Amino acid sequence: MDVATILQSWTKGQFSPFYWFEGEEDFFIDQLTTAAEKTILSPEESAFNCTVFYGKDTSWADVVNQCRRYPMFAERQVVILKEAQQLRDIEKLEPYFEQPLTSTILVIAYKEKKLDNRKKVARLIKEKGTFVSFKKLNEKEVAAWIEQRLAAKEQKITPRALLLMVDHLGSELSKVEQELEKLQLNCSPGSVIDEDLIERFVGVSKEFNVFELQTALAQKDFLKAFRIIQYFKQNPKAAPLQLILPLLYSFFSKVYMLFGADTSDDRSLASQLGIPPFSIRNYKEAARLYGYQGTELTLLLLHQYNLKSVGVGATSTEDSSLLKELIFKMTSH
């Protein structure tokens, strides 16, 4: 079950007695708890029937006592437990899960952790209520999510502009959402978002960015990579070294996976790597140019220079100098 399905059921007045939202992706958990707080009840009903607890500042008994109360001047009440992972003895909610009050909608936000499926409480939650575990999205999923968000506003995005956004913002959906809001405010319905609009409103140079550096290195184009690094040196906030190295490591790790793939079909390969299908060509080109041993060496170099970037063996070297050394070694073998 996803966010859209849950929100749609709430709009139709269809509710479980309680919801348990957990996992690594805080954005979806926050989206649902905010919606529960602001949309399930009308403003008049909410004043008397919406209670928000925080795990650190409350007890399991307070939560149960509130859930056992009946709503005032309304059909139901909403009880929200935020930061539930900080609640002591959360397993003691088990008796309530066994016999929840039908007039109470309990929403539990259990972040950065997961239920122990071996325990009875986990079985009860899944049997009696609604349980959803949200994982971090991979590149392919983030790209699809961006396209869906834009489509809701009757907007489209070009493949290259989409890659720029994903490579620049990563999988932190709260950051992606902020930039999407900028684009949607400044671009009319029916518009197509391209690289120029990304550069203008998101602040990513369409010529000098980590994606272009990655592409240059995939093609072993030292001169282009060098020009991009010179831009980074003059604009340190554009792409800090601590951002560049993990992204390059992720890219070449996926290139490395190609050598063990059991298919040559582009769509299947993209699915296995967790990337958008239109970007697979770049990975295959890197695999062809670097080869198996060259890709292994590149991953080793990226690991070594990641250590140097935090002062291990290179305490006084500038970031730009480290990058120049790195790309020279990567493109010369």
Domain count, the chain: 3
Q: Considering the entire predicted model, what is its pTM? A: 0.72
Q: Calculate helix-pair angle for 139-151, 173-186, nearest 10 degrees.
A: 30
Pairwise CA distance, residues 33 & 89, whole Å: 22
Structure tokens at 40: 């399930």
Find the domain containing 167 and state its range. 137-206
Percent of the chain residues topping a pLDDT of 70: 99
CATH number of the domain within which 39 lies: 3.40.50.300
78 and 7 share a domain? yes
| 117: Cβ contacts below 8 Å, ≥ 6 apart | 123
193-240 pLDDT, tens digit per residue, is 998 999 888 888 778 888 889 999 999 999 999 999 988 888 877 778
173 and 213 share a domain? no
Q: What's the pLDDT score for residue 312?
A: 79
* DSSP state letter for 118: T
Give 97's pLDDT tier (boundaries 50, 70, 90). Answer: very high
Give 316's pLDDT tier (boundaries 50, 70, 90). Answer: low
Residue 93 has pLDDT above 90, yes or no: yes
91 and 126 share a domain? yes
| Nearest CA-CA partner of 162 in 179, 177, 143, 145 | 143
Percent of the chain residues topping a pLDDT of 90: 56
Residue 324 has pLDDT above 80, yes or no: yes
143-198 pLDDT, tens digit per residue, is 999 999 899 889 999 988 998 888 888 788 988 999 999 898 888 888 999 989 99
| 153: Cβ contacts below 8 Å, ≥ 6 apart | 184, 189
125 and 50 share a domain? yes
- The mean of the pLDDT values for the chain is 90
Q: What's the pLDDT score for residue 102?
A: 92
Give 130's pLDDT tier (boundaries 50, 70, 90). Answer: very high
Q: What's the pLDDT score for residue 117?
A: 80
269 and 154 share a domain? no
Query: How large is the average pLDDT for residues 291-312?
Result: 90
43 and 16 share a domain? yes
Q: Token match 């309530």: residue?
A: 96
Q: What's the pLDDT score for residue 332?
A: 85
10 and 111 share a domain? yes
